Amino acid sequence: MSDPIKAAAQRPLPKRFYKTVRVEPRGDLHRILLDDRPVRTPAKAELSVPQAALAAAIAAEWEAQGSHIDPASMPLTRIANSTIDGVAARRREVEDEIAKYAANDLVSYRADNPDALVRRQAEAWDPIVTWATRAMGVAPRVGTGVVHVAQPPELGQAVKARLQGVDPLSLAALHVVTTLTGSALLALALAHAELDADAAWKAAHVDEDFQIEQWGWDAEASARREAREREMRAAASILELLLRPA
């Protein structure tokens, strides 16, 4: 998938063309209306989602726009659009991409020094490896240094099995979390409430946060990280609403 954050930043912002925003139930779905006209995806399909609370959150993104529409401030809308226009029709490809991350998962590659970083990685990632072993019946392998860690073929199969039956919107959200964190195992653990969005984001940035402590912040890198975090948290909220409804 292309980077929707970067792509959105490169386009001029369109002017806001509507006054009212509301959600309209239609069968098992909820669509978002702007001045009583349905929101359309880039491929001109109606934007509708299966959960009322999610539809309300998407509508809130549209309501919050000022004189111009900024896609960077609308991560839920972008994920819903990509689901309707792409993920639903190429499910197998998306599942394969997530499984490929598990074959080179972030949590499998550990530093051998300094000791402080080694400890932080173990504290953040060992519980994920333990959960994955228990939940999927396959123990992810862990290594140190830059040497490739060959995972058992059963791991990819187990990841795909976990994705079976997941609705397209949740699958898209899992793909977003996986690509932003570099870890299919973190994404699945988040989806199964083994950790929350705060813990998942922190676990995905153990190395980066350690480097920041040593060398300080870079303003441009900080802005990119904030944009990625908004996207990840939006995906996490979709997983919570659809996979763990109250």
Paired with 155 in beta bridges are none
DSSP string, 127-177: HHHHHHHHHHS-----EETTS--PPPHHHHHHHHHHHTT--HHHHHHHHHH
Domain 90-243 class, CATH top level: mainly alpha
Token pair, residue 28, equals 């098992």
Q: What is the pLDDT of residue 239?
A: 96
Q: What is the pLDDT of residue 9?
A: 55
Mean pLDDT of the chain: 93
Q: What is the pLDDT of residue 88?
A: 86
- The reply to whether domains 4-85 and 90-243 share a CATH topology is no
> CA-CA distance, 27 to 39, in Å (whole number)?
17
> CA-CA distance, 73 to 226, in Å (whole number)?
11
Reported pTM? 0.91
Of residues 36, 43, 149, 50, the one with CA closest to residue 102? 149
Q: With pLDDT > 70 as the criterion, what percentage of the chain qualifies?
A: 95
Spatial CB neighbours of 85, under 8 Å, sequence gap ≥ 6: 41, 42, 43, 45
- Which three-class secondary structure state does DSSP give residue 40? strand
Give me the long-range contacts of 206-212 (CB less than 8 A, separation at least 24): 206/117, 206/120, 206/121, 206/124, 206/125, 207/111, 207/117, 207/121, 210/116, 210/117, 210/120
Q: Which residue has the higher pLDDT, 132 or 220?
A: 132
Q: Which residue has the higher pLDDT, 5 or 119?
A: 119
pLDDT tens for each residue of 135-170 = 999 999 999 988 999 999 999 999 999 999 899 999
Res. 10: pLDDT tops 70: no
- State the average pLDDT over residues 111-130: 97
Domain ranges of the chain: 4-85, 90-243
Q: What is the pLDDT of residue 53?
A: 95
Confidence of residue 243 (pLDDT cuts 50, 70, 90): confident
Q: What is the pLDDT of residue 245?
A: 56
> CA-CA distance, 119 to 112, in Å (whole number)?
10
pLDDT tens for each residue of 72-104 = 999 999 999 999 999 989 999 999 999 999 999
pLDDT tens for each residue of 34-75 = 999 999 999 999 999 999 999 999 999 999 999 999 999 999
Confidence of residue 216 (pLDDT cuts 50, 70, 90): confident
Q: What is the pLDDT of residue 130?
A: 98
191 within 8 A of 243, measured Cβ to Cβ: yes
Ranges of H-type helices in the chain: 4-9, 52-63, 75-85, 91-103, 115-136, 153-163, 168-181, 184-191, 197-204, 206-215, 219-243
40 within 8 A of 46, measured Cβ to Cβ: yes
CATH fold of the domain at 4-85:
ATP12-like (3.30.2180)
Of residues 11, 12, 18, 15, the one with CA closest to residue 32? 18
